[in-house]
Structure 1
Amino acid sequence: MHKTKIYFVVFLALNLFRLEATAQEAPPLETLQLNLKETLEYALENNVDAKNARLEVMVSQTTIKEETAAGLPQVNGSVGVNYNPLVQVVFLPNAPPFGDPTNPSDVIPARFGVNYSANAGVNMTQMIFDGSFFVGLRAAKTYKALTELNKVKVENDVIENVKKAYFGVLVNAERIKLSQANLTRIDSLLEETKAMNEAGFSEKIEVSRIQVQRNNTFSQLKRSITAYDISKQLLKIQLGLPKNYDLVITETLAELNPEEDLSRLQTMEQSHRVEMDQLNTNMELTQLDLKYNTSQYIPTLDLNANFTRSGAGDSFNTLFKSSNWFSSSMIGVAMNIPIFDGLAKSARIQRNRIQLQQLENQKYYLDGNIQLEIFQARQNLANDMEVLAVQKESMALAKEVYDISKIKYNEGVGSNLEVVDADAALIESEINYLGALYDGLISKVDLEKALGILKEGIND
């Protein structure tokens, strides 16, 4: 029994030591403090999608080099050594004047070859004319331009998502502040009511009524804290922030002055949309593909040249004697003339022309859709601003009603129920105001996207 206790103590001590060592090994969280502009700049640099978009531009640069290489000389070398255990025999007729009278057979076996042979050579091919080469080179450069436009589109998407997540964090932070202020207010009222109940000036039901309100306010605070933590984690993911970093936002909604920004945005003019540039570039690529397929009907002309050294010997020792090695070379021009390919090129050309018609239809649709996006975003923002103004007024009225109810209750001319109802109305008006403010900020981002000004003010 005594030994069992000793083993248990040792086991417990070892586990505590292991837990302490693990806690010491865990790296401390580093704090990153950012405002909205710094947050967007950090996201454009570290977001995974933004990184991949930049890498795709680099990939397109290698495509240009690859296409350029097709027009440069193609040089290949070759070295080979062959061993023939059994050299092939060629049969010759055993007939005069070169026949062998002593050989009774009508054929003479002759071995044309040696046991060992080797060769080393260089082959060079240079394109002289190929109509598709210049089209392909231009297409590679156009593809690079498309990847750069795709990068801009991805950056716009990153900015949109980060802004919405950033505003979500700010609004949830304000909800926490309001919930804490509400909890402090209701706690003060609860203490006063308890004191009055103990002194016999109020009933127990009044204390219970405020306690219920206090519990609801506390639950609201917990929900706000949870929403804040979730929104901050979402923002960290959008930023590409490492796990060992904690994010601290250095701005508040009041400092951003969102209501002024919402009003200013309504009068802004449309800027250029990258989606239209992407569509135009895709049309250019399709036109180049059409030219490429058309150029396949044109003959191609190539220069070919090679130089070879060959050697042979009946044994491996004599294979590399200089006297057994001989040189040969060739220079020639080859023309490839397409005659008939089963109408494959014709089908590809027809497909390109249909694709161009599709892109024209998409361009018309995109232009109309952009105008619709702007109209909807302006209408939504205008509606949200009206709702925001109403909710702001309602919040001020609810605060006034609560103050009056509290004064009347303290002076003994008002009821506890009026105070509780006024407090609940105040809390609801605050929640509605923050909800309307968040909706307005989201509509603001949507309108910035529709106008094509999401990147405005970044990296200035």
Structure 2
Amino acid sequence: MKDKKPFYMNKIFCNRVFLSLFGIIGGMAFAGAQTIHTLSVQEALELAKKNNITVKTARTNLQIQEQVNKSVTADALPTVSGIVSSTAYVQTPVSIIPKDAFGPGAPAEPQAVSFTPKYNATAGVTLKQTLFDGQVFVGLKARSTALDYSMKEIDLAVENLSVNVYKVYYQLLVSKTQVMLLDADIARAAKLLNDTRIMNENGFAEKLDVDKAQVQLANLETARQNTETNIINGYLSLKYLIGVPAADSLVLTTEFKEEDLKGGIPMDLQYRYEDRYDYQHLQISGKLGEYDIKRYKAVYYPTLDLNGAFFKNAYNNTYDFLTTGGTWYSNSYLGLSVNVPIFSGFSKNANLKKARLNYTLIKDQMENLKQNIDLEVRQARNNFLNAMKTMDNQKENTDLAESVYNQTKKKFESGLASNTDVTNAQTDLIQAQTNYINALYTSIIAKVDYLKAIGKI
């Protein structure tokens, strides 16, 4: 009988867990960790919401939008300015009096006469209040919707972060099972190698059988070493997601139970588009698009402003404005200004059409998103149901493969089975364990993807 080619469990971890899924950071953890973080999955998620840069950026964008809203509000409030000025003429302006301007006896030549004092000062306040501006009023109405848009971006960032944290956290928990199975395989392989050497020394086994057992043990030890490295990299990925230093240590306290994968998930395809954050985000985009259309319509309306001012003026040939007794002259006014748009080179019409087209795009995107959600939910549901069945089957298959190996090993020890039979049985067991770990990883990812698809993550 030909030996079967062994399958190694480190391939699952390399291909399915951290390198292909995240590929976030590499390197080894430092031996002297600064802080130990003992975290359940919920505590890890809360820490991620607090520290993750993407979520922080979304929150900062919300603060920026709050300031933008204050700026929009300011456009509807009065503008009051204070003015203080003083002028000293080096050469005062003059006026020309024509000759004979005052009748007989007047100078025969034009005379340059200055009526302007050498110094003057002005102090006053000006007021401007928008009474009607369609664009300002639309902006005021759109403020709360703009804030909702920014807050929904935070929800989206947290949702995507939660998906990644759940997947990495639970895959690290499953890795404990993987290491446990590898340790058991190594112990079995080491015992088989020892028994085969004894039998070889007594002439009941060939040197080739010893070499085969040695190769299988070495492969398993290499697989465990690679798995440990990938687990370290997995912890680094989780640290990155939750925003803790790479030199710190993590202790994961949540227990992984297979039955937890199956419970608490609605499988009746009763879902609502409105439960999805991306759909809510697009709905708010549609409302902003409606405000955009109203804003560009408003540019066709006249604007009405109230203007006013109050001034004090003083004039003298000596600079004594700050002393008591000086004479200040008052003047003030109130006025209304109406600005009627007449022609702007068709730019207003182009902007309005562009806003309407953008709104049409958003509506099309919403219809496309609905279809995509329908597809995503059904595919995720199918993947999850299949993953659950596969996990159960592979669990039973692993138990059966272990039973077969134990029986074959007993026959080998009784001389009723060859070393090749034991090696093949061990290879089958390793393959079954690999498939089982693969099924656990797939089940975790499938559950998280399905919960995200129905908006319940």
Say whether the fold is shared (TM-score over 0.5): yes
Partner Cα separation in structure 1 for residue 93 and residue 100 of structure 2? 22
1:347 alignment partner in structure 2: 350
**Residue number among 50, 53, 56 corresponding to 2:61 in the alignment:** 56
Q: Which 10-residue stretch deviates more, 414-423 or 137-146?
A: 414-423
1:287 alignment partner in structure 2: 290
1:90 alignment partner in structure 2: 95
1:361 alignment partner in structure 2: 364
SS at match of 1:76: strand
Q: Which 10-residue stretch deviates more, 380-389 or 196-205?
A: 196-205
Distance 1:388 1:178, change over 3 A: same
**Contact 2:172-2:231 within 8 A present in 1 as well:** yes
Aligned residue type for 1:417: T
Distance 1:173 1:107, change over 3 A: farther
Larger proportion of helix: 1
| CA shift for structure 1 position 405 | 1.6
**Residue number among 168, 184, 193 corresponding to 1:165 in the alignment:** 168
CA deviation profile, 1:14-66 (whole Å, cap 9, x unmatched) = xxxxxxxxxxxx98522111222222222223222222223323333333322
**Contact 2:33-2:249 within 8 A present in 1 as well:** no
SS at match of 1:425: helix
Q: Which runs of 5+ in 2 are unaligned?
A: 1-30
| CA shift for structure 1 position 251 | 2.7
Distance 1:98 1:169, change over 3 A: farther
Aligned residues: 425
SS at match of 2:312: strand
**Contact 2:126-2:309 within 8 A present in 1 as well:** yes
SS at match of 1:88: coil
| CA shift for structure 1 position 91 | 3.0
Partner Cα separation in structure 2 for residue 424 and residue 99 of structure 1? 134
| CA shift for structure 1 position 394 | 2.5
SS at match of 2:326: helix
**Residue number among 147, 151, 160 corresponding to 1:148 in the alignment:** 151
2:434 alignment partner in structure 1: 431
Partner Cα separation in structure 2 for residue 100 and residue 195 of structure 1? 149
Aligned residue type for 1:440: S
Distance 1:331 1:96, change over 3 A: closer
| CA shift for structure 1 position 450 | 0.8
Aligned residue type for 1:108: Q
1:14 alignment partner in structure 2: none
Aligned residue type for 1:65: K
| CA shift for structure 1 position 215 | 0.6
Q: Which 10-residue stretch deviates more, 178-187 or 385-394?
A: 385-394
1:177 alignment partner in structure 2: 180
**Residue number among 119, 137, 141 corresponding to 2:140 in the alignment:** 137
**Contact 1:311-1:319 within 8 A present in 2 as well:** no
2:85 alignment partner in structure 1: 80
Partner Cα separation in structure 2 for residue 283 and residue 46 of structure 1? 31
Aligned residue type for 2:60: L
Question: Could you tell me the TM-score, scaled by structure 1's length?
Answer: 0.85
Partner Cα separation in structure 1 for residue 79 and residue 412 of structure 2? 96
| CA shift for structure 1 position 320 | 5.4
Partner Cα separation in structure 2 for residue 74 and residue 44 of structure 1? 41
Aligned residue type for 1:218: E
Aligned residue type for 1:289: D
CA deviation profile, 1:58-95 (whole Å, cap 9, x unmatched) = 33333332222222221111222333323333333233
Aligned residue type for 1:123: T
| CA shift for structure 1 position 370 | 0.7
2:14 alignment partner in structure 1: none
1:121 and 2:124 equivalent? yes
CA deviation profile, 1:312-335 (whole Å, cap 9, x unmatched) = 333445675642432221112222
**Residue number among 214, 224, 228 corresponding to 1:221 in the alignment:** 224
2:389 alignment partner in structure 1: 386
**Residue number among 211, 214, 233 corresponding to 1:211 in the alignment:** 214
Aligned residue type for 1:67: V
**In percent, how many aligned pairs have the same letter?**
32
**Contact 1:57-1:148 within 8 A present in 2 as well:** yes
Distance 1:167 1:372, change over 3 A: same
| CA shift for structure 1 position 447 | 0.8
| CA shift for structure 1 position 441 | 1.3
Question: RMSD of the TM alignment (CA)?
Answer: 2.5
Q: Which runs of 5+ in 1 are unaligned?
A: 1-25, 455-460
**Residue number among 61, 66, 72 corresponding to 1:67 in the alignment:** 72
Distance 1:355 1:140, change over 3 A: same
1:187 alignment partner in structure 2: 190
2:9 alignment partner in structure 1: none
Partner Cα separation in structure 2 for residue 152 and residue 419 of structure 1? 55
Distance 1:289 1:264, change over 3 A: closer
Question: Could you tell me the TM-score, scaled by structure 2's length?
Answer: 0.86
Partner Cα separation in structure 2 for residue 437 and residue 196 of structure 1? 39
**Contact 2:240-2:246 within 8 A present in 1 as well:** no
1:266 and 2:267 equivalent? yes
